[in-house]
Amino acid sequence: MSEHPDPIQSTGDERPRIPAKIEEFFAALAMALICLITFANVLVRYFSDESFAFTEEFSVFLMVVLTFVGASAAFAKNTHIRMSFLVEKLAPRIAARIEIAVMAVAAALFAIVVWYGIKLLLDDWNFDTTSPGIGIPQWIYTLWLPLLSAVITLRILGRIVRLARRKA
């Protein structure tokens, strides 16, 4: 146990304005759809020795969506993965500054993903790229990369604002 109160953990008075329940709903929906698709595929294989090969494409897409909305919820609730052993040993003021710096780097990283995600989306749109499994336009899948990365970036920026207010 550290000698200082944990400057990194949420104090409860810094809840985000937009609740993380939104991301949690979409994560649950994606998980339910993955389970449904997988269960249907198992049933079809068992009873007919055939496979819904195209369902893998949907499952992978939904797993990516699940990952991004889960990350967004984690940043919103301040439960994201971090290594805090050394930071917890520092004075609260220094730890808070480090936390803001780390969040700024994370926001920059996801902003870069937004930028390159948009470039990928435009490439898929302009070149009429189709998905390998069922041949639908690839941009339908690619659209979610910059969109959900932008949501994560906004969640991180909100966390930075809340940290800065608490520090002041």
What's the whole-number average pLDDT of the chain?
89
Domain assignment present for residue 28? The answer is: yes
With b for 16 or more beta-carbon neighbours within 10 A and e for fewer, the 91-104 pattern comes to eeeebbebbbebbe
Total structural domains in the chain?
A: 1
Per-residue tokens: 92: 């609260």
For residue 122, the enclosing domain spans 21-167
Looking at residue 94, its pLDDT comes to: 93
Q: In this structure, is residue 34 part of a structural domain? A: yes
pLDDT, tens only, 38-81? 999 889 888 998 877 778 899 999 999 999 999 999 999 999 98
Least confident interval from 3-7, 11-15, 140-144, 163-167: 3-7
Tell me, yes or no, whether 10 lies in a domain.
Answer: no
Rounded to two decimals, what is the model's pTM? 0.87
Q: Is residue 121 part of a domain?
A: yes
String of b and e for 135-157 (b: at least 16 CB within 10 Å)?
A: eeebbebbbbbbebbbbbbbbbb
